[in-house]
Structure 1
């Protein structure tokens, strides 16, 4: 609609004197003008530092009022390259910013909209939706830009859904928009972490057709479900359980405790383990590696298979054999595909790129298991899921320590992926978990959709050199040479 990214431009001045030389449609809708380090009508609200640069975030304003969702961001790398994300809206210069509607009336209209929405999603046996409340001063004047520019009251309300923001036209009193904006409600759940074979160190466990078992009950772990949106469903900042066999898990108190025979148990598994993965990615310093609420369809196919669909950005978990979502390593593997597709749109266009995708997924499952596995069978991927289709112990779908090299390429992405996962696992062993994962994720941003083993390896070596120096780059190079990739 209005959002626009500008081209990257090189600068030679320091941060304090950068001149971007970019044009944009001004907030007042006038002719294009030149943007400088602090364009007019912008308020610096946040400065962030990432691994390779600084990021400046501005709030667009009009006559001193914030413009809803209007932003301007400047990303400056350590070597002086600037990228600008221009998310400003055009606002007519003659827009009147004096309100006809009083804040109390706007608050009443906003709360009525929240009540109506809460009533629509209330449980069937509930006839009264909880009344939302708005604290004094929660109604603030703001501007909506674009073709329907107007002055609004932005009203913040609290209800059983969490925190809502409603925009009320300051001239007519009509509600323009009302939506839930909270994303940090904590809930409670019960999960396997990462799966019962690992947590119980027991290779003899079997599925028994999804029955509850004492041996599996003791493998369940009570956990906090962070970043829920407060809707009473398993939806949050990083996960959206969109479909589920038997219906979606729902609890008004955000308590989701089930035994494994209940299909909703797998929904909790997905929510918890994907949230854990994205929080870890943030801890590493990455804020744009699938930083979204990833859609999942859980237990909705009878096959013993799960997959990521880049066309719909949906991960589907199957329930053949051991329900796939009972094994966190299956969840993490599929989430690995979503991470790479988000970073590199259309990733996996060549055979070797597809193999890299499968290898990364296996590696991601293993590295995510490190904090909770206590070293048990770490290179073994999907220990619990594999009990349904393997007879030898340990039960593994694949491994990240097979010793395969490019001499073993067979032209099948899962098999050839073991070459790549072995290289990544060797990097993990050489650099340690944190450094290795920073290098591996950073290098992914430089992949081509149809990259080769060799090209991706070179990107990884370069990321290691820039982040940690020549010694680290040599260790990464050695890992790829051992697999005959370089």
Structure 2
């Protein structure tokens, strides 16, 4: 039996239980207060989180539009083969991320892409099998593969296709200039000797140009479904030109005629800059006999002529890896190679040509371009006696083994007055009765201008039409000037031909030298006149702006990369697109906004390559409030909206606390 007290508590035990209950009740109250404190604390934390979230949302809204645009422009799309298509000057261009990264030789990737995209490129297997590989160039960021269209074994004039492949195997750009040829061809009925005679009559051939060989070959002209023609090349001193005549192989009729040479009309000088610049006198002129006198003292620059072939120099020839002087002049007598001479020395023109081209090629290579006319250029420094001109003849029309080589021929010892209209006296232009001799090869910008033509030709751009010719001339002016900039102290870099122009041009303003062309200008697409040298300013002026904005080295690197992306023939907008594509590859497109504005100012409307940043630069954080308001800071309205949302959130939190 269990004791009673086990079930019935004593008074003391009851008191102890009551105290324990009170303690428990107090503990509950303490817990409730702690819960309230936690809720209050949580509310404050929630408010802090709200503020942080609001700030994040505000920042996102501030930069929502730019960020979205940037992703759309530069991010690899979910579809890795995003394609854009444009057609200009008969060339169909695809650009974008046209393929996945892939392994293989550039030629294999190019042909594989063409075969997989026959429809979109308007090709078929017959055309594809007839393609002849012309060249593969490696630039800083890509491989550039070019093919020549053939039909029945004959080259189709103007029929080229090129693929531009990023170094990870992504096809970025394809230029398709393939022509529609539906006819078949029989053996020529007109013999090639008869075709030569017809061609000479057509150009009024009188005096041969001994430095350049004649050539003839059958080709297909893309007219009337395709016409087989003799392409005859007739270089002539009189009339001066690298004349190309197309003659129907059946009928012997003339289908086309043109001068294929690139010319430069700039005066003579013996220095790293011309005497007008070196004298800092915009009215400086040569003496009447064209001799070396005291007025030229102090203008000579000591240089090291590099990369000479010592074996050839020892027997009197001037040759190296980048230039070969073909004049019949003995540069070394009895093995003595003393090249310290003045403008009266017959070797001087050849030395100027050799040095200028060698230095220009080394400048190109300094950026990493090792395959951009990295070969000897044949130069006749005194090739045109009595002629005030220069010409650059493309190897393709010469039938040379390398169709991308060039031959440079320059005028020598011509009177400035020979450039004037007969009815205009020298004094009416030059300001006095003197008349100076013009030795074209002595002016470094003449040589480098012509070398600019060679660079473009080696990259695969043959010109094609008035716009293409203007692109050639504009680039050549710019290249000559940018190469000589280290020697001018920034004086008159934008002017072309000050020395030559001192006899045949008047100055446009006080303190400004006469000049043939000026790269600073506002010419646009609508200002084309149809003369390639004059229209060259339409392209040289945006290149000048790029030089001024990016600096000499950055601009050189960008533009040299860009010329690899040109089609075989094209115009201003093709050249502008090529610059934009080069900026994407070299600089992630960060200069896109500036470049587009520069081209828009000339009324160019180039295609926009994938990855180009088209947004304006971010406003400087140090700008004043007034400047910021004037410029219309992006996201200002978003900030106001965030303020309203934040106030609403705060009110909601307070309501919950109550």
Q: Would the TM-score normalized by the shorter structure come out above 0.5?
A: yes
TM-score normalised according to structure 1 size: 0.61
Q: 5+ unaligned residues in a row in structure 2: which ranges?
A: 1-98, 109-137, 144-163, 172-268, 399-405, 417-437, 606-658
> Which of 249, 259, 262 is the aligned partner of 2:331?
249
2:286 counterpart of 1:207? yes
Distance in 2, matches of 1:421 and 1:317, equals 23
The answer for the alignment partner of 1:332 in structure 2 is 448
> Which of 463, 468, 483 is the aligned partner of 1:353?
468
Q: Do the aligned residues in 2 keep the contact of 1:423 with 1:479 (CA within 8 Å)?
A: yes
Distance in 1, matches of 2:282 and 2:106, equals 63
Distance in 2, matches of 1:415 and 1:21, equals 38
2:452 counterpart of 1:363? no
Distance in 1, matches of 2:505 and 2:365, equals 36
> Which of 369, 387, 392 is the aligned partner of 2:502?
387
Shift of 1:307: 0.9
The answer for the alignment partner of 2:362 in structure 1 is 279
Shift of 1:272: 0.9
Cα gap change, 1:326 to 1:191, in 2 (>3 Å): closer
Cα gap change, 1:11 to 1:419, in 2 (>3 Å): closer
Distance in 2, matches of 1:299 and 1:388, equals 21
Q: Do the aligned residues in 2 keep the contact of 1:191 with 1:223 (CA within 8 Å)?
A: no
Cα gap change, 1:77 to 1:271, in 2 (>3 Å): same
Q: Do the aligned residues in 2 keep the contact of 1:353 with 1:449 (CA within 8 Å)?
A: no
SS in 1 for 2:579: helix
Distance in 1, matches of 2:105 and 2:377, equals 35
Map residues 78-89 of structure 1 onto 2, 5 A cutoff. 78-80=167-169
SS in 2 for 1:445: helix
Larger Rg: 2
Q: Do the aligned residues in 1 keep the contact of 2:502 with 2:513 (CA within 8 Å)?
A: no
2:390 counterpart of 1:306? yes
> Which of 435, 460, 463 is the aligned partner of 2:579?
460
Map residues 36-47 of structure 1 onto 2, 5 A cutoff. none
Deviations 1:98-148 (A, max 9, x none): xxxxxxxxxxxxxxxxxxxxxxxxxxxxxxxxxxxxxxxxxxxxxxxxxxx
Q: Do the aligned residues in 2 keep the contact of 1:386 with 1:397 (CA within 8 Å)?
A: yes
SS in 2 for 1:295: strand
Shift of 1:199: 2.2
Distance in 2, matches of 1:220 and 1:432, equals 27
Shift of 1:191: 4.9
More strand by share: 1
Shift of 1:77: 4.4
Shift of 1:202: 2.3
Shift of 1:357: 0.2
Cα gap change, 1:259 to 1:478, in 2 (>3 Å): same
Q: Do the aligned residues in 2 keep the contact of 1:352 with 1:413 (CA within 8 Å)?
A: yes
Q: Do the aligned residues in 1 keep the contact of 2:283 with 2:513 (CA within 8 Å)?
A: no
Q: Do the aligned residues in 1 keep the contact of 2:142 with 2:167 (CA within 8 Å)?
A: yes
> Which of 252, 257, 264 is the aligned partner of 2:347?
264
SS in 2 for 1:315: strand
Shift of 1:367: 0.8
The answer for the alignment partner of 1:444 in structure 2 is 563
Shift of 1:76: 8.9
Q: How many aligned positions are there?
A: 320
Shift of 1:473: 2.1
Q: Do the aligned residues in 2 keep the contact of 1:257 with 1:265 (CA within 8 Å)?
A: no
Shift of 1:80: 2.7
Which structure's relative contact order is higher, taking Cα pairs within 8 Å and 6+ residues apart?
2
> Which of 253, 274, 284 is the aligned partner of 1:195?
274
SS in 1 for 2:327: strand
TM-score normalised according to structure 2 size: 0.46
> Which of 141, 157, 166 is the aligned partner of 1:52?
141
**RMSD, matched Cα:** 2.8
More helix by share: 2
SS in 1 for 2:441: helix
Q: Do the aligned residues in 1 keep the contact of 2:270 with 2:444 (CA within 8 Å)?
A: no
SS in 2 for 1:205: coil
Distance in 1, matches of 2:365 and 2:330, equals 28
Distance in 2, matches of 1:11 and 1:226, equals 45
Q: Do the aligned residues in 1 keep the contact of 2:525 with 2:603 (CA within 8 Å)?
A: yes
2:577 counterpart of 1:484? no
Cα gap change, 1:304 to 1:286, in 2 (>3 Å): same
> Which of 369, 372, 376 is the aligned partner of 2:491?
376
Q: Do the aligned residues in 1 keep the contact of 2:331 with 2:337 (CA within 8 Å)?
A: no
SS in 2 for 1:384: helix
Distance in 2, matches of 1:389 and 1:292, equals 36
Q: Do the aligned residues in 1 keep the contact of 2:101 with 2:168 (CA within 8 Å)?
A: no
Shift of 1:436: 1.2
Shift of 1:299: 2.2
Shift of 1:402: 2.3
Distance in 1, matches of 2:595 and 2:345, equals 44
> Which of 406, 428, 433 is the aligned partner of 2:552?
433
Distance in 1, matches of 2:474 and 2:165, equals 32
